[in-house]
Amino acid sequence: MADEPAMTAGRRKSVARATKKKATKPALHYTVSMPDPASHTFHVEIKLSGTGEFCVLAFPAWTPGSYKIREFGKNVSGFKAKGAKFEMLDKQRYRISGDCTVSFDYYADELSVRTPHLDDTHGFFLGTNLLPYLEDVNGLPAKADYTVTIKPFKGWKVATSLKGKGSTFHTDNYDVLGDTPFEVGTHSVKSFKVRGIRHDVAFYGYGNFDADRIVTDTKKIVETQAKNFGGLPYNYYLFIHHITPDSGGGLEHLNSCVCAWPSWKFKKEEDYQRFIRLVSHEFFHVWNVKRIRPKILGPFDYSKEQHTKALWIMEGMTQYYERLWCARAGVTKPQMVLDSYAETIDREDNRPGRRVMSLEDSSWLAWTKLYLADENFMNTGVSYYSRGAQVGLLLDAKIRNATGGKRSLDDVMRLAFKRWGWPKPGFAEGEWEKLAEEVAGVKLTALWRDHVRGTKEMHYDEFLDCYGLELTRDKQGNEPWLGINTDERNGALQVIGVHADGPGRKAGLQPRDEILAIDGNKVSGKSFSDRVSDLKPGAQCTLTLFRRERLVSAQLKVATQPAGKLKLQVSKKQTPQQKRNFRKWMGPG
Ligand SMILES: [Zn+2]
């Protein structure tokens, strides 16, 4: 990598001064304090050294794993550079006249896995959120010593995956620092070891969870994935769980992940299963996306959107595998995994957007489509997560069928890790597909053409045949259907989505219509689905609604729910080969 001007300037100075001292590597020492947590304001100081005549500090516009421009520089206030001059170059970059101490306040009041948060219960942030990087000549993070000292609020402690001593942590790679989560508070920590490597599980929040069960199951999942890859690619791993009433989502990091889950969604088995699947998902990203990744996803350019056609591999394959790891680890029953695949197929194969958007387009446009999905996205787009998981099903079965059950998608993942696993360079667009063909020993042209670059309907014969499965539709499920999604908003029952193929669309219903009555009888958010279930498919019904404060009525012909319940189960006529394939696929269970 080319030296940045700042580094060259710094080097010139040190060479002139003495031979004792080696060329100075720029260094940034961040100190993050939180003297008044209830103000939601972190205070950050950065001691800059070895930066030369000038340098540029830049706040990332986005954070890896979450493909949306979030403008982390927007939360900065009171920026100062003690002993130097500075000017703002744009919305997120500061040009500073050489070594000095920079300081600023950082407002953090958005509790999510990807944004900073500070209140009287804890502090949380990612490196990309509040630690600007030093720019190199290309505008990318420069090679420098990045040190972070956290000054926790009284009585609080720090959990992070970054190497360090006490509350001071260090790396010479901003991609590592930016990727690191810091949890500061009174969280509880449980630990386990896999292959001699320590794993910590930090719990922030409260709820009806059983921490011991979570840790036991997590350990099994880690062991299972480690077995597949023949080891673990780190020396320490940290799970951070944010458990609060309205939280949700997860974000993967190099040696850690953050999972957010609603406080009271642990007790029911199906809720717990969804949570542990999230843990399995985020953990699998240790390999898929944090190490196996397209070139553009590391090293990172944080200044603007980074487009790739491969997010369906990064997220779709991860969604496909998250359930398999749980089954192989004995944490989830195989039938539950089959049920979840059936649910995905049911939902995605009835989504009108499947005829419009390919997986590659969904990946490429993640920044402006999936991450900024509007009420019409179901009609014009697909999620590279779920649709990608469907391709995972088809592809895995195809490889097993082509190799007589000797090889599978597991081999593709192992080989991809060996070939492109970080810190090795990532793969070029299209290379992963070639590698899948290499493992399968056959051309997969039709699969890519139809389901990755194209929008053809999916057929499951080959998949069912591989494992000896049956896919049947529950004929009893003649549920009435209006083809609209609704939600209670601002005290009104609102249409929030209109299915392109449904009766609501034909009757001209629109997002934001407020539904008042069905056939003259008042309905509310609570009673709406019950009242719809009373309707008869084929019959007419009248909806009374407000449309921009004007009273209108719409005549709908009640249809039948297109996604009548799909069931995926093991056939009684499974052949020995199918049995073997199934066991290898799903594990001992
Ligand atoms: Zn993911």
Q: Reduced to 3 states, what is the DSSP secondary structure of residue 480?
A: strand
Provide the residue-wise pLDDT of the chain in tens; the chain has 589 residues. Answer: 333 333 333 333 333 343 444 567 999 999 999 999 999 999 999 999 999 999 999 999 999 999 999 999 999 999 999 999 999 999 999 999 999 999 999 999 999 999 999 999 999 999 999 999 999 999 999 999 999 999 999 999 999 999 999 999 999 999 999 999 999 999 999 999 999 999 999 999 999 999 999 999 999 999 999 999 999 999 999 999 999 999 999 999 999 999 999 999 999 999 999 999 999 999 999 999 999 999 999 999 999 999 999 999 999 999 999 999 999 999 999 999 999 999 999 999 999 999 999 999 999 999 999 999 999 999 999 999 999 999 999 999 999 999 999 999 999 999 999 999 999 999 999 999 999 999 999 999 999 999 999 999 999 999 999 999 999 987 656 789 999 999 999 899 999 999 999 999 999 999 999 999 999 999 999 999 999 999 999 999 999 999 999 999 999 999 988 766 899 999 999 999 999 999 999 986 4
- Residue 215 Cα to ligand 1 midpoint, Å, equals 20
Span from the CA of 317 to the centroid of ligand 1 (angstroms): 9
Closest of 465, 541, 551, 468 to residue 503, by C-alpha? 541
Distance CA 550, CA 553 (A): 10
Q: 500, 509, 497: which is closest to 553 by C-alpha?
A: 509
What does the pLDDT read at residue 192? 98
> In this structure, are residues 514 and 548 in contact, taking their beta carbons and an 8 Å threshold?
no
How many whole angstroms from 401 Cα to the centroid of ligand 1?
A: 28
Q: Which CATH class for the 287-477+563-589 domain? A: mainly alpha
- Partners of residue 447 on adjacent β-strands: none
Q: If you measure from the C-alpha of residue 158 to the centroid of ligand 1, how many angstroms do you get, rounded to a whole number?
A: 25
Count of other CB atoms within 10 angstroms of residue 186? 12
- Evaluate whether 235 touches 197 at the Cβ level (below 8 Å): yes
Q: How far is the CA of 261 from the centre of ligand 1 (A)?
A: 15
Output the CA 459–ligand 1 centroid distance in Å: 25
Burial of 1 (0-12, 13-18, 19+ CB in 10 A): exposed
Distance 284 CA to ligand 1 centre (A): 8
Cα distance between residue 127 and residue 116, in whole Å? 9
For residue 10, give the H/E element and its range.
helix 5-17
Report the candidate in 55, 56, 178, 74 with the shortest Cα–Cα distance to residue 126: 178
Distances (CA, A) of 46 to 101, 129, 134, 146, 352: 5, 15, 11, 10, 51
Ligand 1 centroid – CA 489 distance (Å):
29
Distance 314 CA to ligand 1 centre (A): 7
**DSSP designation for 292:** B
Q: Is the four-CA dihedral 9, 10, 11, 14 of positive or negative sign?
A: positive
Tell me what percent of the chain is helix, strand and coil, each rounded to the nearest 5.
30, 30, 40
Instruction: Please give the distance, rounded to the nearest whole angstrom, from the Cα atom of residue 488 to the centre of ligand 1.
Output: 29
Q: What separation in Å is there between the alpha carbon of 334 and the centre of ligand 1? A: 22
pLDDT given for residue 163 in this prediction:
93
Report residue 161: phi and psi, to 5°: -95, -5
Closest CA to 226 of 258, 203, 192: 192
pLDDT in the model for residue 564: 65
**CATH 3.30.2010.30 assigned to 187-268:** yes
Cα(326) to centroid(ligand 1), Å: 16
Report CA(252)–ligand 1 centroid distance (Å): 7
251 CA distance to ligand 1 centroid (A)? 7
Span from the CA of 315 to the centroid of ligand 1 (angstroms): 5
Fold (CATH) for 5-185? Immunoglobulin-like (2.60.40)
Between the CA of 94 and the centroid of ligand 1 the distance, in Å, is 33
The alpha carbon of 392 and the centre of ligand 1 are apart by a number of angstroms equal to 14
Q: How many whole angstroms from 318 Cα to the centroid of ligand 1? A: 6
Question: How many whole angstroms separate alpha carbon 107 and alpha carbon 50?
Answer: 29
How many angstroms separate the CA atoms of 317 and 394, rounded? 11
Q: Are 471 and 342 in contact (CB under 8 A)?
A: yes
* Cα–ligand 1 centroid distance for 282 (angstroms): 6
> How far away, in angstroms, is 33 Cα from ligand 1 center?
31
The type of residue at 91 is: K
**131/267 Cα distance (integer angstroms):** 38
Cα(316) to centroid(ligand 1), Å:
8
Phi-psi group of 327: left, alpha or beta (phi > 0 → left; psi -120 to 50 → alpha; rest → beta): alpha
Give residue 19's pLDDT.
41
**What would the pLDDT profile of 448-499 be if each residue is shown by its tens digit?**
999 999 999 999 999 999 999 999 987 656 789 999 999 999 899 999 999 9
Single-letter code of the amino acid located at 69: I
How far is the centre of ligand 1, averaged over its atoms, from the C-alpha of 285 (Å)? 7
Task: Give CA angle at 432 (428, 255), nearest 5°.
Answer: 85
For ligand 1, the distance from its centroid to the CA atom of residue 512, given in whole angstroms, is 31
Question: CA 563, CA 518: separation in Å to the nearest integer?
Answer: 23
Which residues, including other chains, have CB under 8 Å from residue 560's CB and lie 6 or more apart?
A: 478, 479, 480, 481, 537
Q: What is the 3-state secondary structure (H, E, C) of 363-389?
A: HHCCCCCHHHCCCCHHHHCCCCCHHHH
Distance of CA 351 to the CA centre of its chain: 21
Domain ranges of the chain: 5-185, 187-268, 287-477+563-589, 480-560
Contact predicate 320/371, CB 8 Å: no
pLDDT score for 479: 87
Residue 139, classed as helix, strand or coil, is coil
Contact in structure between 131 and 138 (CB atoms under 8 Å): no
293: CA distance to ligand 1 center in Å? Answer: 13
Q: Residue 171 in 3-state DSSP?
A: strand
CB 299 within 8 A of CB 179: no
> What's residue 16's pLDDT?
36
- Going from the Cα of 257 to the center of ligand 1, the distance in angstroms, rounded, reads 10
Q: How remote is the CA of residue 363 from the centroid of ligand 1, in Å? A: 13
Q: Which tokens sit at 165?
A: 């001593």
Tell me, in angstroms, the distance from the centre of ligand 1 to residue 63's CA: 13
| Residue ranges in 469-527 assigned as alpha helix (H) | 503-506
CA 479 to centroid of chain Cα atoms: 33
Centre of ligand 1 to C-alpha 249, Å, is 9
- Strand 122-126 versus strand 115-119 pairing type: antiparallel
> In CATH, which of 3.40.640.10, 1.10.10.10, 2.30.42.10, 2.60.40.10 is domain 480-560?
2.30.42.10
- Measured in angstroms, how far is the CA atom of residue 290 from the centroid of ligand 1? 10
Q: Are 193 and 184 in contact (CB under 8 A)?
A: no
